[in-house]
Amino acid sequence: NAGVTQTPKFQVLKTGQSMTLQCAQDMNHEYMSWYRQDPGMGLRLIHYSVGAGITDQGEVPNGYNVSRSTTEDFPLRLLSAAPSQTSVYFCASSYLGRAQASYEQYFGPGTRLTVT
Amino acid sequence: AQKITQTQPGMFVQEKEAVTLDCTYDTSDQSYGLFWYKQPSSGEMIFLIYQGSYDEQNATEGRYSLNFQKARKSANLVISASQLGDSAMYFCAMRADFGNEKLTFGTGTRLTIIP
């Protein structure tokens, strides 16, 4: 199993450019999500999905779009990049279930994005 | 709304000593799950340990244990016999119930082990 993969690892964008961060998992997980990590703020949820065709907003969704056409893939699109979107982006996946189940979310290696 | 608070931005601990990383949480849910993740300088997120709110015993995984005090809403991570490789950022996180897999993270604690 490759687990959760993300591409690219690093990216530099100019303000106003658009791009897509790719995320894929091969564990047949129903749940997938995108987080951003900024210094001193932990990880914050951007968007998430509980299955193909179903997405919803997290804590900080503005400026980002997602779609989920397959179980495996969950791309994150930056519509018009801004310096405030400079961050490290993590994709994560897990099974769906109840809080008392001990399964964890598996994280990808992250994408470091700089917007100038 | 759920909230996780980690009040120790950084800690320095002598090698081989035990260390406790603090985590308090706030939720109105009765059923929830608590996690600790480790993030070394290489950047990946590594799952360490899980505690369910209905678990009567504290979770343990090797050198890691979770000191769960439900009435105080605290879920402290205890690392026994610290090693140089334990130097990393540590995040406490919470997951709610009813198929809601969203994780709420604390701001993290940077642990540095001194030889």
Output the six-digit token pair for B25.
Answer: 């949480």
Residue B56 or residue B92, greater confidence: B92
CB B105 within 8 A of CB B93: yes
Beta strand A87-94 with A111-115 is antiparallel
Q: Is the pLDDT of residue A97 over 90?
A: no
Percentage of chain B beyond pLDDT 90 is: 83
Q: How far is A35 from chain B (nearest CA, A)?
A: 10
Q: Is the pLDDT of residue A102 over 80?
A: no
Distances (CA, A) of A62 to A38, A46, A65, B46, B103: 16, 8, 8, 28, 19
Alpha-carbon gap, residue B35 to B33, rounded angstroms = 7
Is A27's Cβ below 8 Å from some Cβ in B?
no
Is A94's Cβ below 8 Å from some Cβ in B?
yes
Q: Chain-wide mean pLDDT for chain A?
A: 94
Query: What pLDDT, on a 0 to 100 scale, did the predictor assign at position A1?
Result: 76
Could you read off the pLDDT of B58-76 as tens digits, one per residue?
A: 999 999 999 999 999 999 9
Q: Which of A101, A86, A73 is nearest to A4 (CA)?
A: A73
The conformation of residue A73, written as its DSSP 8-state character, comes to: B
Select the residue of B37, B105, B107 nearest A40 (Cβ to Cβ). B107
CB B55 within 8 A of CB B49: no
Beta carbons of B106 and A88 less than 8 Å apart: no
Contacts of B57 (CB under 8 A, 6+ apart): none
Q: Is the pLDDT of residue B99 over 70?
A: no
Q: Chain-wide mean pLDDT for chain B?
A: 94
A110: pLDDT confidence band, cut at 50, 70 and 90?
Answer: very high
Average pLDDT over residues A18-34: 96
CB B78 within 8 A of CB B66: yes
Task: Compute the radius of gyration of chain B from its Cα atoms.
Answer: 14
Beta strand B10-14 with B109-114 is parallel
